[in-house]
Amino acid sequence: MNHQIATFAGGCFWCLETAYNRLEGVQEALSGYMGGATENPTYKQICSGDTGHAEVVQIDFDADTISYRELLEIFFTLHDPTTLNRQGNDAGTQYRSAIFWHSPAQKAEAEAIIAELTAAKAFDRPIVTEITEAPVFWPAESYHQRYFEQNPQQPYCMFVVAPKLTKFRAHFSKRLKKDA
């Protein structure tokens, strides 16, 4: 196994974590916080917007089964990388679009895909996704892990997470785990 880590911020971590945990080659995707100054932040602190952290998903994956490039392609499908500090009704720096790289190769791949998407005019507006070296990852509280699976009838899950999951399944059905 070619074990690697990827970390992305693209709005509410429930959306990203739900999708990535369904992919073949992903050992686990964890919701958490990254990119701020507060040590061991809580969800309440993050929601204040004062910590500097983003809601992220950290993905433990087998690069022999799914590539970092594929994870990036999924990332750019699951959220709008052209909105600064916002995804839908979720607004604030904690909802920014960011790629936190763990190696120079990941940084180069992230820069390359953004350049390709920009050249192809894949989006109507400029991509504002930040590319930053990964600092400390702080796992979110346990009730945030696999939140959608535990709370599918919760309104946010029904009206935000579920439609993203449907779109994800339509685009990446060949990459899904058998039980996804």
Instruction: Say whether 12 is catalytic.
Output: yes
Encoding tokens for residue 134? 């990964």
Closest listed residue to residue 68, CA positions, set 36, 23, 31, 34:
23
Residue type, 157: C
| C-alpha–C-alpha distance, residues 159 and 147, integer Å | 14
Strand partners, 97: 10
Measure Cα distances from 89 to 23, 105, 124, 159 in Å: 27, 34, 19, 11
Reduced to 3 states (helix: H, G, I; strand: E, B; else coil), residue 6 is: strand
Burial level of 109, CB count in 10 A (0-12/13-18/19+)?
buried
Encoding tokens for residue 93? 């720096």
Contact 23, 37 (CB under 8 A): no
Catalytic positions: 12
